[in-house]
Amino acid sequence: MKSWFPSGNIYLLLLSGGTGSRMKSDIPKQFLELNGKPILLHSLETFLDWGKTKSIVLVSHKDYILKSEELCFPYLRERDRIVEGRETRHGSTLSGISSIQFAPNDIILIHDAARPFVSQDDLDNLSVVVEGAGVATLASKNHETVLEENNGNLKFLDRDKIWFMKTPQGIRGDILKSLLEKPSTTEPTDLCTWAQAHGISSKLVESNPYNLKITEKSDLALAEAILPLFQSWKSE
């Protein structure tokens, strides 16, 4: 899979709009350090090392654009850029999309900056499916018993059919263009719900087992423990 290259270009929207509210921190989670390096740089370097993106668009909260520039400028290439996000995830996604000129066969990936544990194989596998199917997301299988509770009544769900959504998510340029031309009655929570609202289903691509999103303080401690395991797994 490492020899695969797309027929078109690959653009990455790296969403970095956190303000630290759920982390209960004065510093947004993307700037907190993981093994001595800001989480944002862990994620950014993953895609730079992958080497298959034409452009990386870092979508930042307006209050942290300068901090993002100071941190990321030494790493950004000529076509990479930092743009101001909006109040919601979908709004920030649209802001990032508006800054690129994509062709019908291009691939646009959308990733949470707070997910530092994505591998190059993940990116290849996802991009191959996006190129063929149009829309896809990384996801992880469930291995636990899953219950749905409704007013005290419990319903056991089929765990073999339960997946946990991850990022990156990806979309082909022609599909994205069609979505942009259609009005949405409700605001989507992510790329896949946006596509689903217009009758376009997403393919699931199994993620590596370490693809954690750092949201709360306990997640950061877990990420510190996961980092050496992830690095060892990548080198196998």
Q: Is the pLDDT of residue 2 over 70?
A: no
**Contact criterion met (CB below 8 Å) for 211 and 122:** yes
Q: Going by C-beta distance under 8 Å and a sequence separation of 6 or more, which residues neighbour residue 78?
A: none
Q: Are strands 163-172 and 55-60 parallel, antiparallel or unpaired?
A: unpaired
**Is the residue at 85 inside a domain?**
yes
Q: Is residue 3, in this structure, part of any structural domain at all?
A: no
Task: Considering only residues 183 and 132, tell me which one the structure prediction assigns the higher pLDDT.
Answer: 132
Host domain of residue 97: 10-234
Q: Count the domains in the chain.
A: 1
Q: Does 5 map to a domain?
A: no
Phi, psi of 167 (to 5 degrees): -135, 160
Give the domain CATH number at 44: 3.90.550.10
Torsion sign (Cα): 111, 116, 120, 121: negative
Please indicate, yes or no, if residue 1 is contained in any of the structural domains. no
Does residue 2 lie within any of the structural domains? no
Whole-model pTM? 0.94
What is the model's pLDDT at position 5? 84
The pLDDT value recorded for residue 18 is 67
Is residue 101 domain-resident? Answer: yes
Q: Which tokens hold the place of 144?
A: 């636990």
Question: Token digits for 14?
Answer: 């790296």
Confirm whether 60 is domain-assigned: yes
CB of 194 closer than 8 Å to CB of 128: no
d(CA 201, CA 99): 26
Q: Which residue is associated with the tokens 């693809």? A: 211
Alpha-carbon dihedral sign for residues 63, 67, 69, 72: negative
Inside any domain, residue 132: yes
| pLDDT band, residue 20 (cuts 50/70/90) | low
Give the SS3 label for residue 36: coil
What would the pLDDT profile of 59-102 be if each residue is shown by its tens digit?
Answer: 999 999 999 999 999 999 999 999 999 999 999 999 999 999 99
How far is residue 42's CA from residue 150's CA, in Å, rounded to a whole number? 40
Residue 218: count of CB within 10 angstroms of its CB: 9
pLDDT band at 14 (very low <50, low <70, confident <90, very high): very high
For the four alpha carbons of 28, 195, 128 and 164, in that order, the dihedral sign comes to positive
